[in-house]
Structure 1
Amino acid sequence: MTENNLLYTLALQHVPNIGDITAKRLISHCGSAEGVLKEKKQNLLKINGIGIVTINELFKTQHVKEAEKEINFIKENRIKVLYFEDNNYPEKLKHCIDSPILLFQSGQINLKQQHIISIVGARKITTSGIAFCEDLVEQLAVYNPIIVSGFAYGTDITAHKAALKHNLQTIGCLAHGLNQIYPKVHKKYVVDVEKNGGFFTDFWSSDSFDKNNFLKRNRVIAGLSQATIVIESAEKGGSLVTADIANSYNRDVFAVPGRTTDSQSVGCNNLIKHQKAHMLTTPLDVPYILNWQLEDHKTPTIQKQLFVELDPIEKVIYKYLKENEKQQLDVIAINCELPIFKVASILLTMELKGVIRPLPGKLFEVT
C-alpha cells in the first residue's frame, strides 16, 4: 500500500470506538480510509451503526498526527505492514470478520502453500504437557507446518522452541507493539524466530500495555490457522478464549484430554465434553482430521529401502497389512491387539521407513 493510504488507514485505526468491523464497513462505503476521512459528515451518517459522536471524533486532526509518528517508527524499524485487502495479507485471517485492518510484521514469514496450526495452552504447563507438545511438533514436522502461538510463558514458548528445533516456521502473535517483547525473558528467542518465521501484531508502538490486549491478540492466533490445538488448560483461561474464537471462525479445534482430577486438564476435558474440540490423543489425529497429505509438501522423498529393519511390533502390523491390503487405523489396532495411540505412532515410523503409505479415509497399505 502507498504511504498516503497507510497514513489514513492508521489514522482511522487510531479513532476511539472504531473497531475493525466498523472500519471495514466505512472503508467499503467510501472506497478507502482516505475517502472515509474526507467524506462529508451527512453521508457518513447514512452508514448503519455510525453515529454523530463517532463521526465528530473521526475528523480530529490528532489522529493523522499520531499516524505520522507511527509511520516514522515503521520506517525506522523496517516493519512490514499488511493491509486487509491486499494479496499479501494472510488468507485465512482475511476471512475473519473482525480481523485487523492492518497487521504489522517482523521477520521472514512466508504463508504461501503452508499448513498453519496454532498451539496454545496453560502458562503453567506441566512436564507431561511439555512432553506432549514437543512430541506433537516432532511428529508433525514431516508435514512442514507453520506453528503459531502467543510467545507467552508455558505452552506458547514450548511450541515455538519445538518448531525451531525441527526447522519449522513459527509465528509469535504479540499483545503489544513491535517496540517491545513480553515477557522480557523471551527476548533471547527473538532472533531465531525472526530468522525462521517472525511476529505479527495489530498494536502500535504507542499502545499501552494492557491485559485485555491478550484477548484481542487471540483472534489473530485463531484466525491465522487452519486449526487450534489446546495442550492444557484450567477451567478458565486465555487458551479457551482462543478455542472459542476458532470455533466461531468455523476452524477445527483439538484438545488433549487428561485425568478428571488434574486442574490443568479441566478446560480441555470440557471442550471435548461439550463437543467444541476433537479429542487429541496422538499427533497423527491432526493430519488425519485435517486431511493433510505428505505429497503436498516439499519434504524429502521417502523411498522403500531394500533391507528395512522392523521391530517385532512393526513386523506384526506389516504382516497384517500384507495379508489384508488396505485397512483403517482402528481395524489394524483391533486385529493386531494393540492400543490405537501406539499403532498411530508406529504407522508413522513405518511410513518414514517407506514400508507403508497412508491413504484418504485413515487407511494404510504396504508399499
Structure 2
Amino acid sequence: MNYIKALMVVLLLPLILFTSCESDNDPSPVDGAPNVTSTNPLSNALDVSRSKTVSIVFNEAMDPSSINSTTLTLKQGSTSITGEVAYAGTTATFTPAINLSAAKIYTVTITTGAKNLAGIALTSNTTWNFTTGATAEILVVVNLGSAGDYVILAKTAINNSSTSAIKGNLGLSPAATTFITGLALVDFTGYATSSQVTGNVYAADMADPTPVNLTTAVNNMTTAYNDAAGRPSPDFVELGSGNIGGMTLTSGLYKWSSTVTIPTDLTLTGSATDVWIFQIDGNLTQSAATAITLNGGALAKNIFWQVAGEATFGTTSHFEGVILSMTGITFQTGATMNGSALAQTAVILDSNSITMVE
C-alpha cells in the first residue's frame, strides 16, 4: 500500500509543478489594474458648492494622456457640463467652466479609457452622484470706494465736443485742468464748474484737498477694476461668442476672453438687489441706435462692466451700468448713459447725456 501511495506522488508531482508555474506566469486579466480610492465630493454628497472642482484619487500613477474630457465627464441629467480636465500625481480634477446650478443632481464618470502607466485600464466605469446646494451663491457689488463719487473719472483726459449734459462730479488725475476740454470751465478754489455739468469738476492741479482726494479716488478705481476682473467662478463663459445683442441676461458673473459687441438691443432683468459683473478681456462695442433696457427693478448701480480694452458707445445708443475701463471710454454723438464712466486713461464725449445713479 505504501508503495502504491509513493508511486502516485511520483506520477502526480510533475503535474502539480506544471500547474503552479502556469499560474505564476499567467496572471488574471484584472491583476495590476488601477482603481479609484477616493472622490471629492463623496458619492451622494449633499449641499455641494456650485463652484466645486471635482477630484478623483487613484491608487497609482495614471497615464496623463488617458485622463481627458472623454474619459472624465460631468453631467446634469443628460446634459454634459463643459470644463477643464487636469491630472497630477495620482489625482484627476474636473473644473466646470461655469457655476453649477443650485439644487441639482450631477453625475461624475471616469471610464475604462483611463489607464495606468503600464497601459492597464480601469476594470469598469466608476460613476457617482452629488447634489449642489439649494441656494445660489450671492454675487456682491464691486466696491468703488471714493471713485463712486464721480460720474466721470479719468487719468489722462476728459474731452468734450459740442454740448453735453452731465449729472454728477467729474474728476481727472494725475493730469491737470488743461486736459479737460470742451466744457468751458469756470474756476473756483479747489474745483471748477460748467454749464454742461450738474456737479463740480476736479483736477489734480487744483487747490487742496482736491489732489489728495483725487489720488485716493483713482487708486480706488484701480482697486475696483482689479476686484471685478478677479472674481472667480463665472456663471457664464464666452456667452454668444461675445455677441450679446438681442439677449435677456439675468444677474450673475459673465466672462469673455475677447471683444464683446452689442449690435442690437440688450435687456438685463432682475431685482433691485441683483448684481451683474461683466469681465471683458477685449473691447466693448455698442452699435449706434441700440439700447440696454433694465427690467424687474434692476439698477444701473449694480451693473459693472470691467473692460480691458476700449469701451465705445455708438451714435444715439443708450447704456446702463458702471464702466471700469483700463484703456479708454468713447461716447459717440448723442449717446446716453445711466451710470458712471471710470477710465484708467481718457473719456471722450460728443453731445452726450451722462447721468450718475445712486
- Structure ID, larger Rg: 2
Task: Identify the TM-score tier after normalising by the shorter chain.
Answer: under 0.3
Instruction: Give the structure-2-normalised TM-score.
Output: 0.21
* The structure with more helix, counted as a fraction of residues: 1
* The structure with more strand, counted as a fraction of residues: 2
